[in-house]
């Protein structure tokens, strides 16, 4: 029996929720005996949860406490003792110490270990800000040391990029195979752009670049706005989908740069709707940067870039910064174009190159789609994950 500990499941949605849904569906379809443990949900009707469970193919035990690691640990210990699973598969390294002697395989996006947001010394971000500097640093250091020890206890920690693998190797964390990607290439697929734009009421005569991201410093959306200021307003438009703490600041920057209708801010969309937006666009943008996260007292990196995977599946070239794991997903000159981070001029030049060269745009898009189907699809990710599970069990049995 397989115990899957995956706090990030619907009704919340984000990259890890998308991954969790794909994994649970696959496991349910294979007929493996499994129990799924997830976060407690409040304020959601039983009818809505039943719809999500039907989509997952399994009904999770929603018992984990979002802000109480100790309470969640007790739940995990009780389940492990009662169920005696052959292996635990989890999205959070932090849960490993509560799994006793059971083999544990954990996914890591890197940042969960480099700037740990879970640990025994944790407090809310609001409370953390009120602590004296030295105490704040001591708490963060204690969390970092604890979670690195938890990772070392894992039988394997599979990473989302070689960049993440190398970073974790510096922390002394063993057994870190790379399983990159994660996109539903049946949902995210090329479509006829003309009818989609008409339906969405997007201009037919503009080269439209799309960003869908949480609006935080790491995403570099300010760089994209500065790049748009350098491009011909008759040719280019940028559409920014999402929200976040920098939303008002970014709107202010767009006004300061007098971008007018060259930039359109759109509210966050359901994940499935993003497939249509990407298929209607001409290029995807990920102008990310390495950024310091004052809440966690550490650097925040773009360790893979799921949006780039989804763009590739839609046959769209991505213009991205040459940073961290993002440069492994976007293959320069093959599936998109890479530019230096924090360089609006280079970003603008890359966008104009794609606009002016339809043949290049088509070639990059076709190659991006082929790469997504061959290497980034959830079918590949799930097969590789289960192969790792079987390898760990075989090694334990030997």
64-121 pLDDT tens trace: 998 789 999 999 999 999 999 999 999 999 999 999 999 999 999 888 888 887 888 7
Q: Per-residue pLDDT for 170 more than 90?
A: no
Q: Is 158 helix (H, G, I), strand (E, B) or coil?
A: strand
Identify the pLDDT of residue 232.
97
Please report the pLDDT score of residue 398 as a whole number.
80
The pLDDT of residue 236 is above 90: yes
Determine the Cα–Cα distance for residues 398 and 390; give it in Å rounded to an integer: 12
- Judge whether residue 210 has pLDDT over 90: yes
- The tens digit of pLDDT for each residue in 2-38 reads 999 999 998 888 888 999 999 999 999 998 899 999 9
- pTM for the whole structure: 0.94
Structure tokens at 168: 């974790």
Domains of the chain, residue spans: 2-182+377-397, 193-376
Mean pLDDT score across all residues of the chain: 94
Question: How is residue 263 annotated by DSSP?
Answer: E
Q: For residues 342 and 291, what is the distance between their CA atoms, to the nearest angstrom?
A: 11
- Report which of residues 332 and 137 the model is more confident about: 332
For the ranges 45-49, 63-67, 118-122, 365-369, the lowest mean pLDDT is seen at 118-122
CA distance linking residue 4 with residue 85, whole number of Å: 10
* Residue 182 CA, distance from chain mean position: 9
- What is the C-alpha separation between 147 and 113, in angstroms, rounded? 7
Strand bridging mode 156-159 / 207-212: unpaired
Percentage of the chain modeled with pLDDT above 70? 100
Alpha carbon 239 to its chain's center: 20
Q: How far is CA 292 from the centre of its chain?
A: 18
β-partners of residue 107 are: 158
Is the pLDDT assigned to residue 303 strictly greater than 80? yes
**CATH fold for the domain made of 2-182+377-397:** Rossmann fold (3.40.50)
In this structure, are residues 22 and 381 in contact, taking their beta carbons and an 8 Å threshold? yes
Instruction: Provide the 3-class DSSP secondary structure of residue 228.
Output: helix
Q: From CA 9, how far away is CA 20, in angstroms rounded?
A: 6
Quote the pLDDT of residue 239: 98
The tokens 């995956």 sit on which residue? 6
Q: Which residue has the tokens 């790491």?
A: 218
pLDDT band at 62 (very low <50, low <70, confident <90, very high): very high
Select from 3.40.50.2000, 3.20.20.70, 3.40.50.800, 3.40.30.10 the CATH code of 193-376. 3.40.50.2000
Whether 2-182+377-397 and 193-376 share one fold: the answer is: yes
Question: Would you state the pLDDT for residue 214?
Answer: 94
Average confidence (pLDDT) over 217-227: 98
- Rounded Cα gap, residues 18 and 271, in angstroms: 8
Q: What angle do CA 122, 176, 186 make, to 5 degrees?
A: 95
388 — pLDDT class (breaks 50, 70, 90): very high
Alpha helix stretches (DSSP H) within the chain:
15-30, 46-56, 69-83, 111-114, 125-130, 133-153, 162-170, 193-200, 221-228, 247-256, 271-280, 306-313, 326-329, 344-356, 358-371, 378-397
In Å, how far from its chain's centre is CA 384?
18
Output the pLDDT for position 112. 87
Is the pLDDT at 131 greater than 90, yes or no? Answer: no
Would you say 314 and 329 are in contact if contact means Cβ atoms under 8 Å apart? no
The answer to whether residues 1 and 37 touch, using CB atoms and an 8 Å cutoff, is: no
Is 80 exceeded by the pLDDT of residue 125? no
Lateral strand order in the sheet of 34-39:
61-64, 34-39, 2-5, 87-90, 104-108, 156-159
> Is 348 a residue whose pLDDT tops 80?
yes
Q: Are 375 and 308 in contact (CB under 8 A)?
A: no
Tell me if 128 sits within 8 A of 103, measured CB to CB.
no
From 129-138, 202-211, 248-257, 302-311, the region with the lowest mean pLDDT: 129-138
Residue 124 has pLDDT above 90, yes or no: no
Q: What Å distances lie between residue 317 and 64, 80, 208, 236, 311, CA to CA? A: 39, 45, 12, 16, 7
How far is 65 from 94, CA to CA, in rounded Å? 13
Confidence of residue 203 (pLDDT cuts 50, 70, 90): very high
| Residue 205: predicted pLDDT | 95
- The number of residues making up the chain comes to 398
Largest Cα separation within the chain, whole Å, is 67
Q: What is the pLDDT of residue 122?
A: 75
CA pair distance 389, 375, nearest whole angstrom: 19
Q: Which tokens go with 383?
A: 């097969």
The pLDDT tens digits for 132-161 are 989 888 888 888 888 999 999 999 999 999
């Amino acid at each position: 029996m397989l115990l899957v500990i995956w706090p990030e499941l619907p009704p919340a949605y984000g990259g890890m929720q998308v991954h969790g849904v794909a994994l649970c569906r696959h496991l349910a379809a294979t007929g493996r005996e499994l129990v799924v443990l997830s976060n407690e949900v409040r304020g959601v009707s039983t009818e809505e949860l039943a719809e999500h469970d039907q989509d997952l193919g399994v009904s999770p035990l929603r018992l984990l406490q979002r802000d109480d690691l100790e309470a969640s640990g007790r739940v995990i210990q009780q389940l492990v003792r009662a169920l005696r699973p052959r292996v635990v598969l989890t999205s959070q390294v932090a849960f490993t110490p509560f799994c006793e002697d059971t083999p544990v395989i954990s996914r890591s996006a890197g940042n969960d270990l480099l700037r740990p947001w879970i640990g025994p010394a944790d407090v809310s971000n609001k409370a953390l800000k009120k602590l004296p500097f030295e105490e704040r640093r001591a708490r963060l250091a204690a969390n970092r040391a604890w979670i690195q020890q938890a990772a070392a206890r894992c039988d394997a920690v599979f990473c989302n990029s070689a960049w993440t693998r190398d970073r974790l190797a510096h922390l002394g964390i063993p057994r870190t195979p790379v399983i990159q990607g994660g996109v539903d290439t049946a949902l995210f697929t090329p479509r006829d752009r003309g009818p989609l734009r008409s339906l969405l009421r997007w201009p037919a005569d503009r080269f439209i670049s799309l960003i869908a991201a949480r609006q935080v410093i790491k995403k570099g959306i300010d760089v994209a706005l500065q790049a748009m200021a350098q491009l011909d307003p008759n040719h280019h438009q940028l559409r920014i989908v999402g929200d976040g703490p920098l939303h008002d600041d970014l709107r202010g920057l767009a006004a300061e740069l007098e971008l007018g209708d060259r930039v359109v801010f759109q509210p966050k969309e359901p994940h499935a709707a993003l497939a249509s937006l990407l298929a209607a666009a001409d290029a995807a943008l990920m102008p990310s940067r390495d950024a310091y996260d004052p809440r966690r007292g550490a650097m925040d990196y773009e360790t893979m870039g799921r949006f780039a995977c989804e763009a590739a599946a839609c046959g769209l070239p991505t213009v991205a910064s040459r940073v961290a794991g993002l440069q492994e997903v976007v293959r320069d000159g093959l599936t998109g174009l890479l530019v230096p981070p924090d360089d609006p001029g280079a970003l603008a030049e890359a966008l104009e190159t794609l606009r002016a060269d339809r043949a290049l745009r088509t070639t990059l898009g076709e190659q991006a789609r082929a790469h997504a189907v061959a290497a980034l699809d959830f079918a590949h990710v799930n097969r590789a994950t289960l192969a790792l599970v079987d390898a760990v069990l075989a090694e334990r049995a030997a």
